[in-house]
Copies of this chain bind each other. A is one copy, B any other.
Amino acid sequence: LKVGKVYLVGAGPGDPGLITVKGLACLKQADVVVYDRLVDESILNDVRPEAEKIYVGKADRLHILEQDSINQLLLEKARKGKVVVRLKGGDPFVLGRGGEEAGILTRNGIPFEVVPGVTSASAVPAYAGIPVTHRGVASSFAVITGHKASDRGEPRISWDKLATGADTLVILMGMRNLA
């Protein structure tokens, strides 16, 4: 029985030019692409026409059941010997739940590789003209989920310490809880 391989690939923050050379090479050789909501779907233009493209996009409320289904899908395709690209916005390991997928693949003996991506945490401020660090102004930054209220069993966020401890704060997925 041939076992495939899963690439956990960061698509970058939206601009299709900000995927990595390695990430694009993975996409071009994929048998299956499992992708989230993307800022710009033209990033999928280089996927082979015969490859299977599976949209598992979700809004900013990610339910555990959905993640379980994605995990099962990755296992199932890899066990059929497929080269699977799990394409995620930004970086798979920066609030992208790539660690959970890596854990499932490890526990099931499926070969995988992580291809880091440009994270929106620094790239979106950069495109807005804001360096997250700047000499004399900011020598540290913190990236925090703003998604917390809808999750359970998560470690408490120490807003008081973060607010005064890190020089720049970047809050991802926070729009729903902004008020």
Contacts and interface: CB of A to CB of B under 8 A. Distances in A.
A126 B119 CA distance: 13
A67 to B, nearest CB: 8
Contacts of A20: 12, 17-21, 118
Contact of A161 (B138, B141, B154, B165): B165
B22 A21 contact: no
Interface size of A as a range:
35 or more
Contact of A93 (B91, B115, B133, B139): B133
Given A133-B94, A139-B154, A17 B12 contact: no
A49 interface: no
A162 interface: yes
Contacts of A160: 165
Given A94-B132, A142-B162, A162-B166, 12 more contacts: A16-B21, A18-B22, A93-B132, A99-B134, A99-B135, A135-B151, A138-B155, A139-B155, A140-B143, A140-B144, A158-B165, A162-B165
21 contacts: A17-B115, A18-B116, A91-B122, A91-B126, A93-B125, A94-B122, A95-B133, A98-B131, A117-B118, A133-B143, A133-B145, A135-B154, A136-B153, A139-B155, A140-B157, A142-B143, A143-B143, A144-B166, A161-B164, A162-B165, A162-B166
A93 B13 CA distance: 15
A111 to B, nearest CB: 14
Nearest to A21: B17
Given A22-B18, A140-B162, A165-B161, A131 B145 contact: no
Contacts of A158: 164-165
